[in-house]
Structure 1
Amino acid sequence: MVRISIDSKARVKIGNLSRGGKSRTREALKANDHDHNWSETLVPFGIFDLKSEQLSIYWGTSAETSDFMVDCLSMWWENNQGSYSELEELVINLDNGISHRSNRTQFIKRICQFSSENKLRIRLIYYPPYRAQI
Protein backbone atom coordinates (compact mmCIF):
# COMPACT_ATOMS: atom_id res chain seq x y z
CA MET A 1 0.00 0.00 0.00
CA VAL A 2 1.12 3.53 -0.83
CA ARG A 3 -0.59 6.60 0.61
CA ILE A 4 -0.58 9.86 -1.31
CA SER A 5 -2.28 13.19 -0.76
CA ILE A 6 -3.56 15.20 -3.72
CA ASP A 7 -4.70 18.81 -3.88
CA SER A 8 -4.84 21.78 -6.20
CA LYS A 9 -4.25 25.36 -5.21
CA ALA A 10 -5.43 28.77 -6.35
CA ARG A 11 -4.89 29.72 -9.96
CA VAL A 12 -1.75 31.71 -10.79
CA LYS A 13 -2.02 34.58 -13.26
CA ILE A 14 0.96 34.94 -15.61
CA GLY A 15 1.84 38.25 -17.24
CA ASN A 16 3.37 41.67 -16.75
CA LEU A 17 1.56 42.09 -13.44
CA SER A 18 2.16 44.78 -10.83
CA ARG A 19 1.93 42.42 -7.81
CA GLY A 20 0.54 45.28 -5.78
CA GLY A 21 3.77 47.28 -6.15
CA LYS A 22 5.84 44.61 -4.37
CA SER A 23 9.01 43.06 -5.78
CA ARG A 24 11.51 40.52 -4.51
CA THR A 25 14.40 42.40 -6.05
CA ARG A 26 16.04 45.59 -4.83
CA GLU A 27 14.81 47.52 -7.85
CA ALA A 28 11.14 47.21 -8.74
CA LEU A 29 10.50 45.71 -12.16
CA LYS A 30 8.48 47.69 -14.67
CA ALA A 31 4.97 46.30 -14.87
CA ASN A 32 1.47 47.31 -15.80
CA ASP A 33 -0.08 49.59 -13.21
CA HIS A 34 -3.30 47.53 -13.18
CA ASP A 35 -3.65 43.77 -13.36
CA HIS A 36 -6.43 43.66 -15.94
CA ASN A 37 -4.62 41.69 -18.61
CA TRP A 38 -2.62 38.54 -18.14
CA SER A 39 -1.29 36.19 -20.76
CA GLU A 40 -2.27 32.94 -19.08
CA THR A 41 -3.71 31.39 -15.95
CA LEU A 42 -2.10 28.24 -14.53
CA VAL A 43 -3.59 25.77 -12.07
CA PRO A 44 -1.08 23.99 -9.77
CA PHE A 45 -1.83 20.42 -8.70
CA GLY A 46 0.29 18.55 -6.15
CA ILE A 47 0.73 14.87 -5.38
CA PHE A 48 2.58 14.08 -2.14
CA ASP A 49 3.79 10.59 -1.22
CA LEU A 50 3.51 10.53 2.56
CA LYS A 51 6.11 7.79 3.13
CA SER A 52 8.89 8.96 0.82
CA GLU A 53 7.95 12.65 1.28
CA GLN A 54 8.23 13.12 -2.49
CA LEU A 55 6.22 16.03 -3.89
CA SER A 56 5.27 16.25 -7.56
CA ILE A 57 3.67 19.41 -8.94
CA TYR A 58 1.79 19.55 -12.23
CA TRP A 59 0.52 22.66 -13.99
CA GLY A 60 -2.56 22.95 -16.16
CA THR A 61 -4.13 25.75 -18.16
CA SER A 62 -7.73 24.65 -17.73
CA ALA A 63 -9.92 24.90 -14.68
CA GLU A 64 -9.56 22.49 -11.78
CA THR A 65 -11.78 19.67 -13.00
CA SER A 66 -12.14 15.98 -12.22
CA ASP A 67 -10.53 15.17 -15.57
CA PHE A 68 -7.57 17.48 -14.88
CA MET A 69 -6.97 15.87 -11.50
CA VAL A 70 -7.09 12.28 -12.76
CA ASP A 71 -4.96 13.21 -15.80
CA CYS A 72 -2.32 14.54 -13.37
CA LEU A 73 -2.60 11.35 -11.30
CA SER A 74 -2.10 9.29 -14.48
CA MET A 75 1.01 11.29 -15.42
CA TRP A 76 2.36 10.84 -11.88
CA TRP A 77 1.75 7.09 -12.07
CA GLU A 78 3.48 6.82 -15.48
CA ASN A 79 6.55 8.58 -14.04
CA ASN A 80 6.63 6.69 -10.74
CA GLN A 81 5.16 3.22 -11.17
CA GLY A 82 8.64 1.71 -11.44
CA SER A 83 9.21 2.64 -7.80
CA TYR A 84 6.08 0.72 -6.79
CA SER A 85 6.41 -2.50 -8.79
CA GLU A 86 4.55 -4.70 -6.26
CA LEU A 87 1.85 -2.16 -5.43
CA GLU A 88 -1.71 -3.46 -5.20
CA GLU A 89 -3.45 -0.63 -3.33
CA LEU A 90 -3.19 3.14 -3.64
CA VAL A 91 -4.69 5.19 -0.79
CA ILE A 92 -5.49 8.79 -1.75
CA ASN A 93 -6.10 11.55 0.81
CA LEU A 94 -8.43 14.28 -0.49
CA ASP A 95 -10.17 17.33 0.86
CA ASN A 96 -13.83 17.90 0.02
CA GLY A 97 -13.14 20.10 -3.01
CA ILE A 98 -15.97 20.61 -5.47
CA SER A 99 -14.25 18.82 -8.34
CA HIS A 100 -13.57 15.57 -6.48
CA ARG A 101 -16.23 15.09 -3.83
CA SER A 102 -17.50 11.54 -3.48
CA ASN A 103 -20.78 12.51 -5.15
CA ARG A 104 -19.03 13.81 -8.30
CA THR A 105 -19.78 11.11 -10.83
CA GLN A 106 -17.14 12.26 -13.33
CA PHE A 107 -14.39 12.04 -10.71
CA ILE A 108 -15.50 8.60 -9.52
CA LYS A 109 -15.82 7.40 -13.13
CA ARG A 110 -12.28 8.55 -13.98
CA ILE A 111 -10.79 7.09 -10.77
CA CYS A 112 -12.44 3.75 -11.58
CA GLN A 113 -10.98 3.87 -15.10
CA PHE A 114 -7.53 4.66 -13.67
CA SER A 115 -7.91 1.76 -11.22
CA SER A 116 -8.91 -0.70 -13.96
CA GLU A 117 -6.21 0.40 -16.42
CA ASN A 118 -3.45 0.09 -13.81
CA LYS A 119 -4.83 -2.92 -11.93
CA LEU A 120 -4.78 -1.03 -8.63
CA ARG A 121 -7.23 -1.05 -5.78
CA ILE A 122 -7.95 2.58 -4.91
CA ARG A 123 -9.12 3.77 -1.51
CA LEU A 124 -10.26 7.40 -1.24
CA ILE A 125 -9.89 8.98 2.21
CA TYR A 126 -11.71 12.29 2.54
CA TYR A 127 -10.69 14.81 5.19
CA PRO A 128 -13.63 15.99 7.30
CA PRO A 129 -15.18 19.26 6.16
CA TYR A 130 -13.68 22.37 7.73
CA ARG A 131 -15.71 23.56 10.66
CA ALA A 132 -15.79 26.91 12.40
CA GLN A 133 -14.18 26.88 15.82
CA ILE A 134 -16.63 27.69 18.59
Structure 2
Amino acid sequence: MANKLGPHAASGLAVYIDRRILELRYKKTQREIATAAGFTNPNMLTMLKQGHSKLPIDRVATLAAALEVDSKYMLRLALAQHGNETMLRVYDEVLGTVVSQHEVGWLTLLREASDNSDPAVTTRARSTILSIFGK
Protein backbone atom coordinates (compact mmCIF):
# COMPACT_ATOMS: atom_id res chain seq x y z
CA MET A 1 0.00 0.00 0.00
CA ALA A 2 2.44 2.63 -1.20
CA ASN A 3 -0.31 5.24 -1.56
CA LYS A 4 -1.48 5.01 2.05
CA LEU A 5 -1.76 8.48 3.54
CA GLY A 6 0.47 9.52 6.39
CA PRO A 7 -0.34 11.03 9.78
CA HIS A 8 -0.14 14.60 8.46
CA ALA A 9 -2.29 14.06 5.36
CA ALA A 10 -5.18 16.11 6.77
CA SER A 11 -2.95 19.06 7.64
CA GLY A 12 -3.67 22.30 5.85
CA LEU A 13 -0.14 22.28 4.46
CA ALA A 14 -0.38 18.81 2.90
CA VAL A 15 -3.71 19.67 1.28
CA TYR A 16 -2.33 23.04 0.08
CA ILE A 17 0.81 21.51 -1.45
CA ASP A 18 -1.19 18.79 -3.19
CA ARG A 19 -3.64 21.30 -4.66
CA ARG A 20 -0.89 23.67 -5.78
CA ILE A 21 1.07 20.90 -7.53
CA LEU A 22 -2.11 20.03 -9.44
CA GLU A 23 -2.63 23.69 -10.37
CA LEU A 24 0.93 23.96 -11.72
CA ARG A 25 0.96 20.65 -13.64
CA TYR A 26 0.42 22.41 -16.97
CA LYS A 27 3.72 24.27 -16.65
CA LYS A 28 5.94 22.39 -14.14
CA THR A 29 6.49 18.77 -13.26
CA GLN A 30 6.61 17.66 -9.67
CA ARG A 31 10.30 16.85 -10.21
CA GLU A 32 10.95 20.42 -11.41
CA ILE A 33 9.17 21.83 -8.36
CA ALA A 34 11.18 19.59 -6.03
CA THR A 35 14.45 20.59 -7.70
CA ALA A 36 13.57 24.29 -7.54
CA ALA A 37 12.74 23.88 -3.85
CA GLY A 38 16.17 22.35 -3.24
CA PHE A 39 15.05 18.81 -2.44
CA THR A 40 17.61 16.23 -3.53
CA ASN A 41 14.93 13.55 -3.47
CA PRO A 42 12.03 14.47 -5.78
CA ASN A 43 9.83 12.03 -3.83
CA MET A 44 9.91 14.50 -0.94
CA LEU A 45 6.95 16.34 -2.46
CA THR A 46 4.95 13.12 -2.59
CA MET A 47 5.85 12.50 1.06
CA LEU A 48 4.71 16.03 1.96
CA LYS A 49 1.44 16.00 0.05
CA GLN A 50 0.52 12.52 1.31
CA GLY A 51 1.34 13.55 4.88
CA HIS A 52 4.21 11.12 5.46
CA SER A 53 6.58 13.98 6.28
CA LYS A 54 6.41 17.48 7.71
CA LEU A 55 7.88 20.38 5.77
CA PRO A 56 11.16 21.46 7.38
CA ILE A 57 10.78 25.10 8.40
CA ASP A 58 14.03 26.01 6.66
CA ARG A 59 12.51 24.86 3.34
CA VAL A 60 9.39 27.02 3.52
CA ALA A 61 10.77 29.91 1.46
CA THR A 62 12.26 27.78 -1.32
CA LEU A 63 9.17 25.56 -1.62
CA ALA A 64 6.88 28.59 -1.60
CA ALA A 65 8.91 30.11 -4.45
CA ALA A 66 8.86 26.82 -6.40
CA LEU A 67 5.09 26.54 -5.91
CA GLU A 68 4.64 30.25 -6.71
CA VAL A 69 2.78 30.93 -3.47
CA ASP A 70 3.06 33.38 -0.60
CA SER A 71 5.84 32.31 1.78
CA LYS A 72 4.23 33.98 4.82
CA TYR A 73 1.07 31.95 4.33
CA MET A 74 3.06 28.75 3.82
CA LEU A 75 5.10 29.42 6.98
CA ARG A 76 1.91 29.67 9.01
CA LEU A 77 0.68 26.36 7.57
CA ALA A 78 4.05 24.74 8.31
CA LEU A 79 4.07 25.97 11.91
CA ALA A 80 0.56 24.60 12.39
CA GLN A 81 1.61 21.27 10.86
CA HIS A 82 4.52 21.04 13.29
CA GLY A 83 2.09 21.50 16.17
CA ASN A 84 4.22 24.30 17.54
CA GLU A 85 1.49 26.32 19.22
CA THR A 86 3.98 28.62 20.96
CA MET A 87 5.67 29.60 17.69
CA LEU A 88 2.30 30.00 16.01
CA ARG A 89 1.15 32.31 18.82
CA VAL A 90 4.38 34.36 18.58
CA TYR A 91 4.01 34.50 14.80
CA ASP A 92 0.48 35.88 15.15
CA GLU A 93 1.49 38.33 17.90
CA VAL A 94 4.45 39.71 15.94
CA LEU A 95 2.94 39.76 12.46
CA GLY A 96 -0.74 40.10 13.28
CA THR A 97 -3.16 38.74 10.74
CA VAL A 98 -1.08 37.59 7.82
CA VAL A 99 -2.63 38.44 4.50
CA SER A 100 -1.43 36.49 1.48
CA GLN A 101 -0.82 38.08 -1.90
CA HIS A 102 -4.04 36.52 -3.18
CA GLU A 103 -5.99 37.91 -0.23
CA VAL A 104 -4.58 41.37 -1.01
CA GLY A 105 -6.12 40.95 -4.45
CA TRP A 106 -9.51 40.19 -2.86
CA LEU A 107 -9.20 43.24 -0.59
CA THR A 108 -8.29 45.45 -3.54
CA LEU A 109 -11.32 44.19 -5.45
CA LEU A 110 -13.57 44.71 -2.43
CA ARG A 111 -12.37 48.28 -2.06
CA GLU A 112 -12.86 48.92 -5.76
CA ALA A 113 -16.36 47.41 -5.78
CA SER A 114 -17.42 49.36 -2.68
CA ASP A 115 -15.86 52.66 -3.76
CA ASN A 116 -13.69 52.43 -0.63
CA SER A 117 -16.76 52.73 1.58
CA ASP A 118 -15.57 50.20 4.20
CA PRO A 119 -18.69 48.04 3.97
CA ALA A 120 -19.77 45.92 6.92
CA VAL A 121 -20.09 42.17 6.52
CA THR A 122 -23.82 41.68 6.23
CA THR A 123 -25.67 38.37 6.21
CA ARG A 124 -26.23 38.79 2.47
CA ALA A 125 -22.57 39.61 1.75
CA ARG A 126 -21.42 36.66 3.85
CA SER A 127 -23.80 34.33 2.06
CA THR A 128 -22.63 35.59 -1.34
CA ILE A 129 -18.94 35.11 -0.53
CA LEU A 130 -19.52 31.65 0.95
CA SER A 131 -21.48 30.63 -2.16
CA ILE A 132 -18.51 31.55 -4.36
CA PHE A 133 -16.56 28.84 -2.55
CA GLY A 134 -19.43 26.35 -2.58
CA LYS A 135 -20.29 26.63 1.09
Tell which has more relative contact order, 1 or 2 (C-alpha 8 A, sep 6+).
Answer: 1
**Larger helix proportion, structure 1 or 2?**
2
TM-score of the two chains, using structure 1 as the length reference: 0.24
**Larger strand proportion, structure 1 or 2?**
1
* Greater Cα radius of gyration, structure 1 or 2: 1
